[in-house]
Structure 1
């Protein structure tokens, strides 16, 4: 089975932010991995959800609703966006379990096509509970990517130092050189 490589410049963030990062800028144009079911399949595979959920038009629509709700709370207002995120969270629940390995939790959905979006919304709640100040948007003005700052001192500013960090440094250098 051949898999399509994930074209996004930043992958591997926690699920909630990884879903937000299915939109990114390239040459000044917003790219959207979730523009169709094929892109959803790429994201599901990249996020480790490809074996669990089917990439179909309804899953795509539900996942985009979750992404928009996450965008509203991360880049907008938590108070205003919470209602939209709660609508996504209403689509599933956690069932507590006990196995031979000990206590556990199993997510359950009335409609599994809500699964990827629900898991991302739930992950956002986990990130908020752990360290809400570590949920960040890249500081580069032309970047729309998000990341979870895992640096020791919590001062990461860029989605990638190699990309956005260097562009910002080069821009500042150019501005200083132009002013002198």
Structure 2
């Protein structure tokens, strides 16, 4: 079977990581894309979170230390899902789950402890220890730590298609972006609306009596 092609369209590393569940809000079609530590490395290399040499080193280390790799995978997925629930609660004006915040803060604190300033061609940059199996999670955690308290968080959106659940940063000029992927979710929404209206016409029911705003 061909490897899944990850998409990086959210505008922030932590949001792209959340989007590693396809059709997250569907009761029947949700698909977990990070089924192993190896898949986390594949995602990190594809998105530039790790360079490919670092990903190869970590993959070799994971083979030597499978229990350590399994623990890193479990923590990364738990962090991802806690972050998703926390962001969605904020978008909906609801209270965050203290247990989710505790998971997030634990990983953010851990990441900060392993972050170091290193020189680069563009000047100094922050780097985490890329020899540690938890390095991808630390980069994601620091991305979340930067985004959530920043003014930019006001531009975080959830895809307008109910089953999708993907998050993205709306950088459109008028802040009117509704879909994570117009060619998929936008078109699917249009098709659903067309089908619903057709059913109502077939039954002789005026659309205004039964349709609800999306």
Relative to the length of structure 2, the TM-score reads 0.69
Q: How large is the RMSD of aligned CA atoms in angstroms? A: 2.8
Q: Does 1:132 align with 2:145?
A: no
Looking at structure 1, the residues matched to 173 and 155 of structure 2 have their Cα atoms a distance apart, in angstroms, of: 11
Say which SS state the counterpart of residue 177 (structure 2) adopts.
coil
Instruction: Return closer, same or farther for 1:108/1:160 CA change in 2, 3 Å cut-off.
Output: closer
Q: Unpaired segments of 5 or more residues in structure 1?
A: none
Instruction: Return closer, same or farther for 1:95/1:178 CA change in 2, 3 Å cut-off.
Output: same
- Per the alignment, residue 85 of structure 2 pairs with 72
Q: How many residues align?
A: 175
Cα drift, residue 171 of structure 1: 1.4
- Per the alignment, residue 11 of structure 1 pairs with 8
Give the greater-gyration-radius structure (CA): 2
Alignment check: 8 A CA contact 1:37 1:60 kept: yes
- Per the alignment, residue 85 of structure 1 pairs with 104
Residue 54 (structure 2) aligned to one of 52, 55, 65? 52
Residue 173 (structure 2) aligned to one of 152, 158, 174? 152
Instruction: Return closer, same or farther for 1:75/1:100 CA change in 2, 3 Å cut-off.
Output: closer
The structure where strand makes up a greater share of residues is 1
Instruction: Return closer, same or farther for 1:78/1:46 CA change in 2, 3 Å cut-off.
Output: farther
- Per the alignment, residue 107 of structure 1 pairs with 127
Q: Unpaired segments of 5 or more residues in structure 2?
A: 63-68, 90-94, 202-214
Instruction: Return closer, same or farther for 1:161/1:99 CA change in 2, 3 Å cut-off.
Output: closer
